[in-house]
Structure 1
Amino acid sequence: MLIAASGACGCIAWRGHVLALPVAVLFPALWAMSPSRLTAVLVSAGYFLAASRGLPQGVANFYGADLWPGILLWTAASLSFTGVHAALWKGRPEGKSPGVGRTGLAIAARYLAALVLIGFPPFGIIGWAHPLTAAGVLFPGWGWWGLVAMTAGLAMMTSRYWPAAAIVLGGFWLWSTATWISPNLPEGWMGVDLEQGESLGRDSTLDYHRDLIATVRAVAGEKTRFIVLPESALGFWTPTVARFWSQGLRGAEVSVIAGADVIDPGGYDNVMVAISADEARILYRQRMPVPVSMWQPWRAWTGQGGGARADLFGNPVVQINGQKVATLICYEQLLLWPILHSMLHSPTAIVAPGNGWWAAGTSIVAIQNASVMAWAKLFGLPVVTAFNR
């Protein structure tokens, strides 16, 4: 029953609806109730595998293969989350209830340690489905205090008092649901979604760029100062592309923030660039590209080169026209540490582009969007998204 409940918890919380995220707070209680380490392993695996259930199909779409490689990668990805929770699980002395005396404190402390480990590198590199993400739904506008309250609530869920904690958190959930308003767009910003599938950024012809510039000029309104395009929208970033775009934006009082790839002999950087009629520059380098498909550190270790570089703790915020903007490219939207790293620098807005063509038939893009919306609500920030499907 614990394993089935954990799977249902992961499936419901991570279905792509932001208001469903608080269901994840049940997981710590199920983990703490596990009567053995094996059960704790299966409870943790059930939650993570259910939450990331779209991965096999996404991998199959990306590589044009059948589901088996995706299933293997899905299973391998779960080892980080499951291993941390299995190692930190603590059994209770026979006859003891959870949350009694030192044993209860030890269980809560161990769960808090698991939260930290799965939230930050190295384990946090695959730290999807983090329960703290629900803080933005339960405590919108509370900022860091909301994160503290959420952490305390999750710790209480591992104790004998978990029903009372669940009722309190449920009350916050009901209130938030009744008064929920989605985050606003930053003033003067607009995100443009595209539907170019896997061809996005792979067409390097000037006709492609000319059409994209025409799209930008067509959607730009009188009050629009910044237009965000999806990840990889510009393909390879070269001096020719930079000049072409700057020339194409002449006469338009707008700056374009768009995804591109910067190539060199050692690999490439997945970046966002800022382009206007007057300048074109690299604005942001992705801190955490997708492991395996993009980030392949073993290539550097073996001297092969190639793959996307991870800037890890670089550029938490970027400056654009006097604003401090937190940028989260695609995969970073599923993780805990990139957003917290950015929030330490007090940004004024969140920009969240992505390229989700490979996630067709899954809820991955919806989950990314829900995660970003939750963090934006927690810190009371406007957010702009731009996705390719």
Structure 2
Amino acid sequence: MCRDYLRPALLIFVSIAIGVVGWSGHVLLLPVALGFPLLWSISRTRLVAALVSAGYFLAASRGLPQGVAAFYSSDIWPGLLLWLCASLSFVAVHTVLWTKNSGDRPFRYLLAAIIMSIPPFGITGWAHPATAAGALFPGLGWWGLGFMTAGLAGLVTRIWPAVAITFAGLWLWSAASWTEPGLPNGWLGVDLELGASLGRDAGLHRQRDLIATVRNAASDGARFVVLPETALGFWTPTVARLWMSASGDTDGTVIAGATVLDAAGYDNVLVAIDRKGESSILYRERMPVPGSMWQPWRSWFGESGGARADFFANPVVSVGASRAAPLICYEQLIVWPILQSMLHHPDLVVAVGNGWWTEGTSIVAIQRAAATAWAKLFAKPLVIAFNT
């Protein structure tokens, strides 16, 4: 009787540990997440598989309750509710597709992995083990993703020890020779430490400070300067004129986050301002944060507001002579935006975020690690700009 309870308890404990360590914000620890498929496959009942899935996902996304509480300046209960609700899709998919039949298990797990990669379930498809492909197969691109897929299938079969040993060897080799993705020539990402005021302080003084920051970067030789998400606040004609008039004093192009507001809602965007004094909306976020930004249920009740999700729009954008794959904040945590962008053969990845609300959590570190892993997998230079 004791053994009947000890084994499930041990599997759940290990799944929590895997979620904590694998998603700690260090790119070379991402392969630890590959332990989840193994634990899922050796669960003896559907209930244990559900609890293992819940333990892994809740541990991996453990920063959400505290982050939501900080974002809304509220107590922790709304964050806990969102945390539990977000886990439902992950747990439901892996519970429904679990099977005792070892012959069907690889196909069932791969189906679960695919479902959690694309909408609608992929909208909350955080902590996807496939993200570790960049740490194990750097530079191999789609071949590396294929090897990872085959390895995930192998981990849920009886040959899992051989697969695990192979992955461990690749992991050690990669760690021994690891280098961070390079910065594209002439590009610079500017990290800011302006807290919650970034994007909310629309005063002239703040805009001039940002312009001075860009000028300093351009004077050091940067031709493309990237500022974090929502750095410019609301993109109004007045703000546009200010930045366009200032652009003639620099030799660089500014790429910065902003918010475009209209009667129906708003878009979280990247705008580009070049040295000729011309500006344009470069990119509209494909997947804003569900709940806090993207609120599709408003339209069901005839209400407006919330951020628009463009889902599969603008996977790559042209910046000068280069093609960039932009990822704004939440898009770095899920799978389909980066893979859709890579289908269009970009020259570099641009990852921006505004993570002031994540203080005390590992969320920003996880975003950076995920963006780094995908850039390494496809051998793309990476530009990162975050505000904390």
- Give the TM-score, by structure 2 length: 0.96
Q: 1:131 aligns with which of 126, 129, 132?
A: 129
| Shift in Å, 1:205 | 1.8
Alignment of structure 1 residues 105-254 onto 2, 5 Å: 105-254=103-252
User: Which secondary structure state, in structure 2, belongs to the residue aligned with residue 257 of structure 1?
Assistant: strand
User: Which secondary structure state, in structure 2, belongs to the residue aligned with residue 104 of structure 1?
Assistant: coil
Query: Distance between the aligned counterparts of 1:204 and 1:277, measured in 2?
Result: 23
| Shift in Å, 1:173 | 0.2
User: In the alignment, does 2:6 pair up with 1:6?
Assistant: no
Q: 1:73 aligns with which of 82, 93, 99?
A: 82
Q: 1:257 aligns with which of 226, 241, 255?
A: 255
User: Which secondary structure state, in structure 2, belongs to the residue aligned with residue 210 of structure 1?
Assistant: helix
User: Structure 2, unaligned stretches of length 5 or more?
Assistant: 1-9
**Residue of structure 2 in register with 1:100 after alignment:** none
Amino acid at match of 1:59: V
| Shift in Å, 1:41 | 0.4
Query: Distance between the aligned counterparts of 1:195 and 1:57, measured in 2?
Result: 19
Amino acid at match of 1:217: R
Q: Over residues 26-65 of structure 1, what are the superposed CA-to-partner deviations in whole Å (9 max), with x where a residue is unaligned? A: 1111001111110000000000000000001001100111
User: In the alignment, does 2:275 pair up with 1:277?
Assistant: yes
| Shift in Å, 1:222 | 4.6
Instruction: Tell me, yes or no, if the aligned pair for 1:349 and 1:383 is still in contact at 8 Å.
Output: yes
Q: 2:28 aligns with which of 7, 11, 19?
A: 19
Alignment of structure 1 residues 94-109 onto 2, 5 Å: 103-109=101-107
Query: Distance between the aligned counterparts of 1:277 and 1:372, measured in 2?
Result: 29
Query: Distance between the aligned counterparts of 2:220 and 2:38, measured in 1?
Result: 52
**Residue of structure 2 in register with 1:87 after alignment:** 96
Query: Distance between the aligned counterparts of 1:105 and 1:124, measured in 2?
Result: 26
| Shift in Å, 1:208 | 1.5
| Shift in Å, 1:258 | 0.2
Amino acid at match of 2:38: A
| Shift in Å, 1:285 | 0.0
| Shift in Å, 1:323 | 1.0
Query: Distance between the aligned counterparts of 1:9 and 1:214, measured in 2?
Result: 44
Query: Distance between the aligned counterparts of 1:354 and 1:371, measured in 2?
Result: 13
Count of equivalent residues: 378
Instruction: Tell me, yes or no, if the aligned pair for 1:247 and 1:277 is still in contact at 8 Å.
Output: no
Amino acid at match of 1:267: G
Runs of 4+ in 1 over 3 A off after TM superposition: none
Q: Over residues 128-180 of structure 1, what are the superposed CA-to-partner deviations in whole Å (9 max), with x where a residue is unaligned? A: 00000000000000000000000000110001111111000100000000000
Query: Distance between the aligned counterparts of 1:341 and 1:302, measured in 2?
Result: 32
Amino acid at match of 1:146: G
User: In the alignment, does 2:373 pair up with 1:374?
Assistant: yes
Amino acid at match of 2:290: P
**Residue of structure 1 in register with 2:42 after alignment:** 33
User: Which secondary structure state, in structure 2, belongs to the residue aligned with residue 119 of structure 1?
Assistant: coil
User: Which secondary structure state, in structure 1, belongs to the residue aligned with residue 103 of structure 2?
Assistant: helix
**Residue of structure 2 in register with 1:344 after alignment:** 343
| Shift in Å, 1:219 | 2.3
| Shift in Å, 1:221 | 3.7
| Shift in Å, 1:246 | 1.2
| Shift in Å, 1:17 | 0.2
Query: Distance between the aligned counterparts of 1:320 and 1:219, measured in 2?
Result: 18
**Residue of structure 1 in register with 2:70 after alignment:** 61
Calculate percent identity across the aligned residue pairs.
63
**Residue of structure 1 in register with 2:266 after alignment:** 268
Query: Distance between the aligned counterparts of 1:10 and 1:43, measured in 2?
Result: 10
| Shift in Å, 1:241 | 1.0
User: Which secondary structure state, in structure 2, belongs to the residue aligned with residue 220 of structure 1?
Assistant: helix
Of 297-306 and 129-138, the range deviating more from structure 2: 297-306
Q: Over residues 338-357 of structure 1, what are the superposed CA-to-partner deviations in whole Å (9 max), with x where a residue is unaligned? A: 00000000000000010000
Query: Distance between the aligned counterparts of 1:257 and 1:301, measured in 2?
Result: 35
Query: Distance between the aligned counterparts of 2:225 and 2:20, measured in 1?
Result: 34
**Residue of structure 1 in register with 2:384 after alignment:** 385
Query: Distance between the aligned counterparts of 1:12 and 1:222, measured in 2?
Result: 38
| Shift in Å, 1:239 | 1.5
Query: Distance between the aligned counterparts of 2:119 and 2:318, measured in 1?
Result: 26
User: Which secondary structure state, in structure 1, belongs to the residue aligned with residue 104 of structure 2?
Assistant: helix
Query: Distance between the aligned counterparts of 2:307 and 2:201, measured in 1?
Result: 20
Query: Distance between the aligned counterparts of 1:31 and 1:221, measured in 2?
Result: 54
User: Structure 1, unaligned stretches of length 5 or more?
Assistant: 92-102
User: Which secondary structure state, in structure 2, belongs to the residue aligned with residue 183 of structure 1?
Assistant: coil
User: Which secondary structure state, in structure 2, belongs to the residue aligned with residue 16 of structure 1?
Assistant: coil
Instruction: Tell me, yes or no, if the aligned pair for 1:226 and 1:254 is still in contact at 8 Å.
Output: yes
Amino acid at match of 1:350: V
Give RMSD over aligned pairs. Answer: 0.8
Query: Distance between the aligned counterparts of 1:358 and 1:108, measured in 2?
Result: 39
Query: Distance between the aligned counterparts of 1:311 and 1:19, measured in 2?
Result: 32
- Give the TM-score, by structure 1 length: 0.96
Query: Distance between the aligned counterparts of 1:383 and 1:105, measured in 2?
Result: 41
Alignment of structure 1 residues 329-368 onto 2, 5 Å: 329-368=328-367
